[in-house]
A = this chain, B = another copy of it.
Amino acid sequence: MIKPVMLTEPTFSPHSLNKYASLMTLGNGYMGIRASHEEAYTLQTRGMYLAGLYHRAGKGEINELVNLPDIVGVEITLNGEIFSLTSGAIEHWQRELDFASGELRRTLTWRAPGGARFTIESRRFASAQKLPLFAMEVTITPLDADASIVISTGIDATMTNHGRQHLDETQVRVFGQHLLQGIYTTQDNRSDIAISSYCGVDGDAQRCFTAKERRLLQHNSVQAKAGQRVTLTKMSWIDWTTELHTSYETWGRQSLRHLEACVQQGYDALLAESTANWQEWWQGRRVQVSSSDEADQRALDFALYHLRVMTPEHDERSSIAAKGLTGEGYKGHIFWDTEVFLLPFHLFTEPKTARSLLRYRWHNLPGAREKARRNGWQGALFPWESARSGEEETPEFAAINIRTGLRQKVASAQAEHHLVADIAWAVINYWHATGDMQFMSREGMALLLETAKFWISRAVMVNKRLEIHDVIGPDEYTEHVNNNAFTNYMAGYNVEQALHFARQLGCSDETFIHRAEHFLQHLWRPEVQQDGVLPQDDTFLSKPAIDLSKYKVKAGKQTILLDYSRAEVNEMQILKQADVVMLTYMLPEQFSPQTCLANLRFYEPRTIHDSSLSKAIHGIVAARCGDSAQGYRFWREGAQIDLGDDPHSCDDGIHAAATGAIWLGAIQGFAGVSVRHGELHLDPALPEHWQTLTFPLRWQGIDLQITLNATEIHITSTAQINLWVNGTNVCVQGASVVRYGSFMTSKIGTATTERGDE
């Protein structure tokens, strides 16, 4: 049995309520439920979200992930005192999220202000097996004397997104003594949500229901003996649909039947079934590290846990939000983060999931075509931020400047076009990892063609070459520049690959082939200078540089903007994240190790790392350049974005991309996994803190289990496979050992080696 590390919350603090509510979010890709406590706190933000369920609350607002009616809250009154950890005293405290089972547990002993002591235990999970199921138990034990206990819980539809209401209350019902149901409809009438809850309190509970002011509640009163355990079991079934083909009554009854079947099974059986599902999942994905710092293993387990719960693999009309399903940051929108930071994990572990995420883009090609058309271009210009429909969801204007009252147009939606090539890049990665020609000939080809056509129309002929003007690269501190290296190279790669597949698949669109050839012949790709530096864009190198150290120590907080306006930042060598470093990460076969290193050395001092995407990529490139010490430093700092000490760093949700980057850093950085010319490479560079690194990898349908240490690689493969280790071609099958330096496989294996030509 795989036993990932647990995430623990060391102490109760009103200051970190929302941090842990995000970090410990339960979910299964279908739903995400923040780990708010059962009892209410003024600063605690509750949240339950369903992947793909967005709505716009009013004029001037934007489509956002809907915060659904709450089912976690339980008001507990003990001898007339409302249970809250801000009053009385905590005599024992333990809270942990068990990554092995996805169960969140809390055990505490509370001394009420009146002096009586109670043990309060709770546990809950979102089922990995039955996606709409959320189960919880709360057990209260009076320790010193008999006590009167009142437990109120139900479905609380007073929830909003910070005051923005999305749902109308369509119907609320109670069935029998234990079942509550609320059916809600988004105010645009497009989505219906049915929330059904079973609430059972053991013992001789007196029970009543209230339905008032959008709260449907069951109230239970129990007279408990000292030492008697009083348990609330609550199970909820959450259905939603955009196409209700039956009556609310029939639909509601179906939900109830599912819920009743779960109640029959009971909490423990449901948890066992969900844990088994998790175990199987971990089996094919867990990354194990023996490190001098146990936080490293926790970071990896944390990352993988969230990579699962954020991913709507059940629904190809949804993708992964920037905060997953853990909070309302970025309104739950989908960015390039998915393709670049999250997709690789799925590509190398469960490519079907990667395919589903790419099909999300494919389904949304109409919106992307429309956006290109509206801006005077051809092909597909994917929206910078998207939700369910694939339309551009980026607000037209940024938050108002409260000083001037003016709103600034959001530049990213206007000019941050590299996303188009990033999606094409992900399609190619999928092809390499799977060889899935069925996908390539339909969705893959459509995506490649439409994205390539965009670039072809986007470039302008200047100085007898095709230039790409007025863009923003991943470095958002440098706006509206010409010939951004990242963008031009990625656009070139996009068109080149589209042309390659067009020819391979016998595309009859001669115009495209002709235009693509012309584009590739004339596209200007900024050139590496003598000193090895690739200019970020036409003007970057001519701008003045300043000392950034005071801003770098506060990386992520954008403190530079307190001293300089955005316009001033734009005119200096100040990077949020380094474009060119990112480029060498994404297209490793196009740049020599010397170039990678030169650019890392040049750009990193000019980079504040104010983007949560920055450090991880710098870390990988540093590791690839052989500087695993710097790589490790960056990797650790990246892991700290959510797991670090800042009590508010992830109040509005974890950083999904940074989570993906924890896996990327280990696998692509320290294990040195990369794909070059379609082939799998391992160039390990373990940091000195790590003795071994073990991980599974799926490659073209073959399952590999890889263990690295400072001197050798153990590989177990389900089939014969060719790969490159430190530039040497190796063929492995079954269990093999490859020693660095010797490049001889050990006796137990059947690998053969061949020196690479690179």
Tell me if A682 counts as interface (CB < 8 A to partner B). no
Chain B positions within 8 Å of A185 at CB level: 59
Count of chain A residues with Cβ under 8 Å from any Cβ of B?
45
Query: How far does the alpha carbon of A58 sit from the alpha carbon of B57 in the complex, in Å?
Result: 11
Of the candidates B40, B84, B159, B173, the one whose C-beta lies within 8 Å of that of A163 is B159
Q: Are A211 and B41 in contact (CB under 8 A)?
A: no
A169: chain B residues within 8 A (beta carbon): 60
- A171 contacts B by Cβ under 8 Å: yes
A86 contact from B57, B86, B170, Cβ within 8 A: B86
A243 near B: Cβ within 8 Å?
no
A667-682 CB contacts (< 8 Å) to partner B: none
Q: Of the candidates B213, B214, B400, B403, which one forms a contact with A171 in the assembled complex, judged by CB atoms under 8 Å apart?
A: B400
Are the CB atoms of B165 and A60 closer together than 8 Å? no
Q: Using Cβ atoms and an 8 Å threshold, which residues of chain B touch A171? A: 400, 405
Contact of A60 among B40, B163, B168 (CB under 8 A): B168
Residues of B within 8 A of A465 (CB): none
Interface residues of A in 171-202 (CB under 8 A from B): 171-174, 185, 187, 189
**Contact mask for chain A residues 636-673; partner B; CB cutoff 8 A; 1 contact, 0 none:** 00000000000000000000000000000000000000
Using Cβ atoms and an 8 Å threshold, which residues of chain B touch A245?
Answer: none
Contact call A165/B58, Cβ cutoff below 8 A: yes
Instruction: Say if the beta carbon of A547 comes within 8 Å of chain B.
Output: no
In the complex, what residues of B have CB within 8 A of residue A170's CB? 60
**Cα of A59 to Cα of B58 in the assembled complex, Å:** 14
A82 → chain B closest CB, angstroms: 6
* Contact mask for chain A residues 203-235; partner B; CB cutoff 8 A; 1 contact, 0 none: 000000101111110000000000000000000
Q: Are A82 and B168 in touch, CB under 8 angstroms?
A: no
Chain B contacts for A546, CB-based, 8 A: none
Fill in one digit per residue for A389-403: 1 if any B CB lies within 8 Å of its CB, else 0.
000000000011011
Residue of B nearest to A211 (CB): B402
The answer, yes or no, to whether A261 is at the interface (CB within 8 Å) is: no
A554 vs chain B, min Cβ distance (A): 15
Given A187-B59, A214-B164: A402 and B173 interface contact (C-beta under 8 Å): yes
A402 touches B42 (CB 8 A): no
Closest approach, in angstroms, between the C-beta of A127 and any C-beta of chain B? 27
Report how far A58 CA is from B211 CA in the complex, Å: 18
- Most B-side CB within 10 Å, residue of A14, A60, A400, A405: A405
The listed residue (B157, B165, B249, B403) touching A165 by CB distance below 8 A is B165
Q: Which of A160, A163, A209, A405 has the most B CB atoms < 10 Å from its CB?
A: A163
Interfacial chain B residues near A159, Cβ < 8 Å: 163
CA distance A728 to B213 in the complex (A): 54
Residue of B nearest to A252 (CB): B405
Name A405's closest neighbour in chain B (CB-CB). B173
Nearest Cβ on chain B to A284's Cβ, whole angstroms: 39
CB-defined contacts of A510 to chain B, threshold 8 Å: none
Inter-chain CA distance A58–B186, complex, in Å, is: 10
Binary interface encoding of chain A residues 35-79 relative to chain B, with 1 for a CB under 8 A from any of its CBs, else 0? 000001111000000000000011111000000000000000000
User: In the complex, A249 Cα to B172 Cα: how many Å?
Assistant: 44
CB distance from A150 to the nearest CB of B (A): 12
Please encode chain A, from 147 to 164, with 1 for each CB lying within 8 Å of some chain B CB and 0 for all others.
000000000011110111
Task: Provide the bound-state CA to CA distance between A424 and B173, in Å.
Answer: 42
Could you jot down 20 A-B contacts, CB within 8 Å? Answer: A41-B42, A42-B84, A58-B165, A59-B168, A59-B187, A59-B189, A60-B168, A86-B86, A87-B87, A158-B160, A158-B162, A158-B163, A160-B160, A162-B213, A162-B215, A163-B214, A171-B405, A172-B400, A172-B402, A173-B400
Given A84-B86, A163-B213, A165-B165, output 10 extra A-B contacts at Cβ < 8 Å: A42-B42, A58-B187, A59-B189, A60-B168, A60-B170, A158-B162, A160-B160, A162-B214, A163-B165, A172-B400
